[in-house]
Structure 1
Amino acid sequence: MADSRNYLADFIQSPGNITLLLAGLATAVICSFPFGLVGAAFPLLATVALETLACLFIPDMPSFRAWANQRRLQQKTAMSSERMLDEIFAKCGSKQTAREIEQMFAMLGQQVRSLIEHASEQTGILNGTDLQKIQSVPTQYLSLRLSLLSIDERAASVDLRKISAKLNDLNAQISKPALGADVRQLSRARDEYQNLLARHQRMLSRRSAIEAAVLTLPDQLAEIYQLVMSNSSERDGIRLTDAISNLQLRQEIEDEIADELNFNLEATPNKTMARTKQAQR
């Protein structure tokens, strides 16, 4: 039921419905001059009748729901992109670099819009799944850029020398425990520091993979763009299919990297240090 109400709201707020209501109101105003209220009543009643019928049937139409779903996705993507751009400007040390990222994002968006517009004129060249993959490229680019900044921020917050010194101190305490020391807690603290170092190294390794993705993503989109614009042979069609498949594969790899990156970024040395102090009491 909630789903139906959502689609009904989408229809009421749709440009076509608003145009219909404004046209009915304008007609009523025009008819009121020569005929008075009686003249205005007929266009208003007709508009109300049409609006009621439209609200009953149009929200349930598959074509309208597809349009509404696409509109929601675009709004969600726009909000997500705006949020990521704000974070990039906040995290990026150089405003010039942040503006370059914003310009690349705008260029990718323009390229995607042009590609989709051209593909819509050629029936069957791209299916719905292909279009969704291509539409996500600009947002994916921002996500990768934000991941790089997050990695750099996280790497700067980890003092490897201090952690190594803590590990040496813990090893010494475990090998020769003081009277009343909780060796089990000290061992747990040592393991967490070792895991922190391992996660840090994996995160730095992922950085190289993300850097490569940032460099190749615009080129992959450019390749798809050129193939769509000049899709005149069966060989080009096969190359287009392969290019989109490679784009999807890259997106899946990037999603895995992002998931692991988020996990790594959640791990902070503060909790480990707190446990170490507790074990030493």
Structure 2
Amino acid sequence: MRKFHHYIAIEQLSFHMKSTRCFFIIVLMALAKIGLAQVREVSISYDGVHGYDSALGQVLEWSSLKEEPRVRSSDKPPEGLRLRWLGTSGFELGDNKTTILIDPFVSRPSISNPLAPLIIDTTAVDELILKPMGDRNVDAILVSHAHADHVMDVPLVLSRSTTTDHSPLLVGDPNTVALVESYHLSAKTRLLAFDDGVVHYLIGQFGDFTVEAVRSLHPQYDFLPWRGPEGEIEGHPPFTGFDYLSYRNIAIAYIISYRGLKFVFCDGAILQ
């Protein structure tokens, strides 16, 4: 009889523990539901935008903001100032005598086979980046980090922009420099590697533009504690998507000053 009562006590304790676990699971699910209810899901349409395939799926932006942030704009930008969006995080910034490219990437390689080499779309680079520039030279190419959607087209842009009389300065992390060097471009190529041990660096003056580099951290992906593929780039082209790696999760932010204006190009959180 004592053994029977002991068995019943164990069963009651087991039932109590299971009930407690179920209670905590229900509470966690309720909290998760409340948290997701506070997150605003915004659908971003790329219909009609060159290079985007709607068949790839819908792009979603998750934001806890109740309204769009208000950013003060310049009352009157300096005459001749030019800012052109290239897609993704790519920009062309310049005036009548200077041109700076930030993360120039316009290729849209297929992602149906992740192990297949990514091929630079030479036509897209020529038509969407270089041709609209006309006779203007590229003075600097600034790369935030060495993931494919930021650096993939850079070797071709750099090669097309280098002549016997002119060579742009390429700024990036050690992975960006290693990737460009693997293409064995012209000996005139000028490269500046921004090491992760440096927090702030004055790159230099390009016409009326002053460029500074600040160490920042690659953002996480929504709620995942992951900042994308990371490591050191090795080998030679062609590269697959898995070969493009951020250097120690660092993404370089660029602060560009121009006649009293400041432009900040930042792909993540700036580290102080």
TM-score in terms of structure 2 length: 0.23
Structure (1 or 2) with the greater strand fraction: 2
More helix, by proportion: 1
Q: Choose between structure 1 and 2 for higher RCO, CA contacts under 8 A separated by at least 6 residues.
A: 1
- Bigger radius of gyration among the two: 1
TM-score between both structures, scaled by the size of structure 1: 0.22
